[in-house]
Every structure is written in C-alpha cells, then in structure tokens.
Structure 1
Amino acid sequence: MSTSKKSFSSVNPLLETRDVIALKDKTGNLYESISIIGRRANQISVNMKEELHRKLDEFSVHADNLEEVHENKEQIEISRIYERMANAPLQALTEFNDDRIYHRKKVM
C-alpha cells in the first residue's frame, strides 16, 4: 500500500456511481478490491487527521483560563478547506482506479 504524501484536494468530493466490474477486474475479486480501498482509506484518514491537527496546533494557546477562547480566521479557513475535501474512501477509490496503490497478495 502506498503511504507517500499526496495532495488530498485533487479528488472530486461529489459522489458518483462506480463500475464494480472494473473494481473486480483489477484484483480478480471484488471483496479484495474493496478491502484494499478500505485499508488505503484508513491510511489517508489518519494522515489527514494528523496534518489537520499539526496545522491547528500552531494556533492553540495553552492557557489556564477557559473563558479566553477566541476565533482565529486562519484557523477557521484551514478547517473549511478540510471540510471541502473529498472523504478518505473517495480518495482511496480514485487512487485505486488510477493504479496508484501498490498491493500484493499474501502467500500462505
């Protein structure tokens, strides 16, 4: 499975129908294809979450007073960018269809 860092914003966030036969043809088994896409989606989700937290931590103020919560326009904009991105399964499906996910069968 590929773990290299890629731009998350290049995937269309809108849902559309998919050809399950084409998914099956890539591995020979529809359920194996879905499993590969699911594992990659988990990786993408974790990477996006870590990246978002890193960016938002730059704005965090470690103060004892909880009443001093103020909004930062840059922080809000970063959050909006991540909200508009395609979700992790759509990104993983796009990578799978574009043959950008490395996978192999385990030999038992």
Structure 2
Amino acid sequence: MDLKKTNAPVNTVTYNKNTIEEPVGNVYKAITIIAKRASQINTEIKGELIEKLEEFATYNDSLDEVFENKEQIEVSKFYEKLPKAHALAVEEWLEGKVTFKEAVK
C-alpha cells in the first residue's frame, strides 16, 4: 500500500449511506467489511512504523544519556499526518478495491 498516493481524507467526512451499502445491499455488512479492512490496514501501518523506527534505534544501557533522534521524530511525524485506517478503508471500499466473501449458509 502506498500511503503517499492515497486520496483518503484526513478530517471527518459524511458519506451517502446508499453509496456505502451499494456493493452488498446492507449497510451493516458494509460497515463490518470496512471495519475488518481498517483493522488490517492499521496492522500494516503499525508494522511499517515499527520497522522504520527500528532502523534508527540506538541501544544504550546508560540512562544518563537521553538524546533525540531526529530521524525517528521525522518518521513519527509522517505517520501521525497520515489519514486514519478507517478513512483509508472507506476510500478503498468506495473505489472497489476491497474483496470479500460471504459466508455460505
């Protein structure tokens, strides 16, 4: 997932209920699918962040020396400015990029 190329809003947006429920015909199913995708996206972003922060990690046993790592701060600021996982999931849903399978009864 390329987080720099996303069109997901950073602020709260109101969506048309009919547009959200259109692919499955039920707003509750749509919200459930979007929520599961948001959870997946959140896990991916968290993993990327931890991986990038590990690159700059310094392991020092001395508690006397506490210093700021500018690279870590910049990486953290980038991830803080990203749209939230649920906004990314809704954007994917509206673009038809989310696949799902319905349980067979």
TM-score, normalised by the number of residues in structure 2 = 0.92
Runs of 4+ deviating beyond 3 Å: none
Distance, in Å, in 2 between the alignment partners of 1:69 and 1:20 is 51
Q: In the TM superposition, what are the counterparts of 1:1-108 in structure 2 within 5 Å?
A: 6-9=1-4, 10=6, 11-108=8-105
Query: Contact 1:8–1:91 (CA<8 Å) still a contact in 2?
Result: no
Cα distance per residue 1:1-31 (max 9 Å; x no partner):
xxxxx11231221221111111111101100
User: Gapped runs of 5+ residues in structure 2?
Assistant: none
User: Gapped runs of 5+ residues in structure 1?
Assistant: 1-5
The alignment's C-alpha RMSD in Å is: 1.1
Corresponding letter in the other structure for 2:37: R
Equivalent pairs, count: 103
Q: SS of the counterpart of 2:9?
A: coil
Q: SS of the counterpart of 2:18?
A: helix
Q: Structure 1 vs Structure 2: percent identity of aligned residues? A: 35
